Chains A and B, each alone.
Chain A
């Protein structure tokens, strides 16, 4: 049975300090509302916690869901990078509404458009300078997360906001499935959860059943490469829109990606080669010296 999302009125009741509450997005267990507090716009995020059914498995899954949100908020609070979304005024808190449980918190409101909407709605493709800036912002976000030994695991166009602020041209969102190298894994029973990451943006090493012992930030470098590729060409380097999940994953594991230079011959060879290299299947073949990469992008 699906859990009903909270209405705007229910959100207003739970968060009386917020005004002008309006739902703006919904996906999976999460619903996002735009709201204002003291004249400042924020987004309230409501995560529906699966109902208990008396079984130990389900109880542990409920616990996993809560702890994932807690981890996401904790990481965001620790990070200072302007290229990662900031938490807002509403601290993380659980609420029981009717027979269901929800976890609520708020983040800053980012006034812009996500890259997925942008690339699907426009035929104007970004310049190399913009593509370099996008990659640089993602690398700086990855760098800060890695200092906390965190891998985002879900970098993709719809998780990157493009803003008009020149100090924050691109901001990375949604650490909902972030992986921490220094914390115990949260997944109790994988059969309960949805896909680990969006299949189109799955780093090849995530296909290894033992990925937890080897995963590092190079998985995020791969998905950053995918994001830049798709944003700058309007095409995914490997996946096809008509493919099912199995074929998409198979392609991610085995098929060589297209070269960026073939679709964007106007880009410099060096930049295209860098994106191509970030899309290598083996982590060791992806350049991983972040300082060096950032310096190259600034050059």
Chain B
């Protein structure tokens, strides 16, 4: 299981430090938040200093369908005029335009030719977001993007591995019959890509934003499982703490970043901004709890309950400083370290291991919550465990396996 840095605004030295410390094995760069010049600089540094690290570039083409909105936050994606655009493959698109195959091929060619010029180790093909249903026009369009991607990439004449994007709304994954039919189509394509870049959009989560409904998790795991069985490399974007669960189902990599919008995939990132908002309190990702808690909660609990990971990055949350890390970089390094540590001795997490981790977390939450003064509430509470357990159990049923 590999973990990538999901790059975004405010990169600084986070990715390089993460690679240096061995807590990430690559990065997925985001053009929205990075000028092309910076993209090339970072890729060059990674290639020179960390030649084994994977370097990917998410073209973020799925945002093209909302790029007409003048208030949309497209960042660097739409900067410049026709002659000076940094990312010339990107522009506003209408869904109806993709009902013509020639337009799909044109956008694939443009996006892939652009990536061929980057120093990436694998390329990610553009695609649209499937917002409603896997049995919709958008799903047909998305499948056409996948179908055509490999032949367009072959025309470009590059031999680096090609990942096709599948970006889907979380609700769409919950209809098991549609998901099974969709997977049946994806796994039998004539000229398939080497792998897939899976994104699951979760705009309406009622629980912690990194965690999702158990039916969505089961569907996401099933996608990893079925694609892996059919020989595809599966990279999950914005998978955060779900990465070990997806890896146990067959995924080869996951990714997470430092802002909430880099931990979970949502088109909110591109939508017009809503008023309000404040800088988030720094958190600690506790493996034993399978959840992140605020540093002040960590400070309260760490002397009484086994919530610490026992990893090197625990030192960033020094008791002498009230368990408060210095900055966001410390927080993300700790997050990456925590998720990466689910892989032990080079072996990917197993479903049994994931279930055991959920059981342990349930017991730990019970123990903590039995002390009223210690109880974890809000985003730090244990509601996610029911979804994690339910997700694994439903996945096992869908995948016809016994856990």
Q: Once A and B bind, how many residue pairs between them come within 8 Å at the CB atom? A: 41
Interface residues of A in 254-293 (CB under 8 A from B): 256, 277, 280-289, 292
User: Which of A218, A277, A286, A292 counts the most chain B CB atoms within 10 A?
Assistant: A286
Residues of the B chain whose Cβ atoms lie less than 8 Å from the Cβ of A289: 230-231
Interface residues of B in 194-241 (CB under 8 A from A): 225-226, 229-231
**Chain A contact residues (Cβ within 8 angstroms of B): what range?**
10 to 19
Given contact pairs A282-B400, A285-B400, A214 touches B184 in the complex (Cβ within 8 A): yes
Q: Does A154 contact B (CB under 8 A)?
A: no
Residues of the B chain whose Cβ atoms lie less than 8 Å from the Cβ of A216: 184, 188
Give Cα A214–Cα B178 distance, bound, in whole angstroms. Answer: 12
Interface residues of A in 112-135 (CB under 8 A from B): none
Q: Does B399 contact A (CB under 8 A)?
A: yes
Q: Does B180 contact A (CB under 8 A)?
A: yes
CB of A283 within 8 A of CB of B184, answer yes
Residues of the A chain whose Cβ atoms lie less than 8 Å from the Cβ of B183: 282, 284
CB of A284 within 8 A of CB of B400, answer no
Residues of the A chain whose Cβ atoms lie less than 8 Å from the Cβ of B180: 282, 284
CB of B399 within 8 A of CB of A288, answer no
Contact of B229 among A214, A256, A285 (CB under 8 A): A285
Residues of the B chain whose Cβ atoms lie less than 8 Å from the Cβ of A288: 187-188, 230
Give Cα A218–Cα B187 distance, bound, in whole angstroms. Answer: 10
Give Cα A214–Cα B120 distance, bound, in whole angstroms. Answer: 37
CB of A218 within 8 A of CB of B231, answer no
Contact of B184 among A256, A277, A282 (CB under 8 A): A282
Give Cα A202–Cα B187 distance, bound, in whole angstroms. Answer: 21
Give Cα A281–Cα B398 distance, bound, in whole angstroms. Answer: 10
Contact of A256 among B181, B187, B400 (CB under 8 A): B400
CB of B181 within 8 A of CB of A287, answer no
CB of B400 within 8 A of CB of A280, answer yes
Given contact pairs A218-B188, A285-B400, A288-B188, A277 touches B229 in the complex (Cβ within 8 A): yes
Give Cα A128–Cα B336 distance, bound, in whole angstroms. Answer: 44
Contact of A292 among B184, B225, B231 (CB under 8 A): B231
Interface residues of B in 306-335 (CB under 8 A from A): none
CB of B231 within 8 A of CB of A284, answer no
Give Cα A62–Cα B229 distance, bound, in whole angstroms. Answer: 43
Using a CB–CB distance below 8 Å, which chain B residues touch chain A? 180-181, 183-184, 186-188, 225-226, 229-231, 398-400
- List 22 A-B residue pairs with CB atoms under 8 Å apart, sorted by A's residue number: A214-B181, A214-B184, A218-B184, A281-B400, A282-B184, A282-B226, A282-B398, A282-B400, A284-B180, A284-B183, A284-B186, A284-B187, A285-B226, A285-B399, A285-B400, A287-B229, A287-B231, A288-B187, A288-B188, A288-B230, A289-B230, A292-B231
Besides A282-B183, A283-B188, A285-B225, 18 more A-B contacts (Cβ < 8 Å) are: A214-B184, A216-B184, A256-B400, A277-B229, A280-B400, A282-B180, A282-B398, A282-B400, A283-B184, A284-B180, A284-B186, A284-B187, A284-B230, A285-B226, A286-B229, A287-B231, A288-B230, A289-B231
